[in-house]
Amino acid sequence: MGNYNLYNEKTLEELITMAENLSLKKADGHLTLMRFGSGWKIFFGTPVIDGGTGRDQLSAQIKYNSVRDGIVSLLNNTDNVV
């Protein structure tokens, strides 16, 4: 993971702030963090919950064991936009 060591030194609050700031550039400020029984899904953008594509958009997202892992992955892969 490219900058994992750099991100590992950050607090969760700092990582969330970094993701929020990046979401302003990547997805008009939209940042989604969802907790499911099986893990976290974290990505730029907002899934279309009311339409038929929302489930597909959520299913396509990688599942993470922790919110920290998901945010670090998101910061390393800034193309993860719904």
Q: Domain spans of the chain?
A: 4-76
Question: What confidence score (pLDDT) does residue 18 get?
Answer: 94
pLDDT reading at 2 higher than 80: no
Could you give the CA distance from residue 8 to residue 15 in angstroms, rounded to a whole number?
9
pLDDT in tens, 27-71: 999 999 999 999 999 999 988 887 778 888 888 899 999 999 999
Question: What confidence score (pLDDT) does residue 1 get?
Answer: 47
Identify which has the larger pLDDT, 74 or 1: 74
Question: What confidence score (pLDDT) does residue 30 get?
Answer: 94
Phi-psi region at 29: left, alpha or beta (left = phi > 0; alpha = psi -120 to 50): left
Are 80 and 44 in contact by the 8 Å Cβ rule? The answer is: yes
Are 44 and 81 in contact by the 8 Å Cβ rule? The answer is: yes
Are 47 and 57 in contact by the 8 Å Cβ rule? The answer is: yes
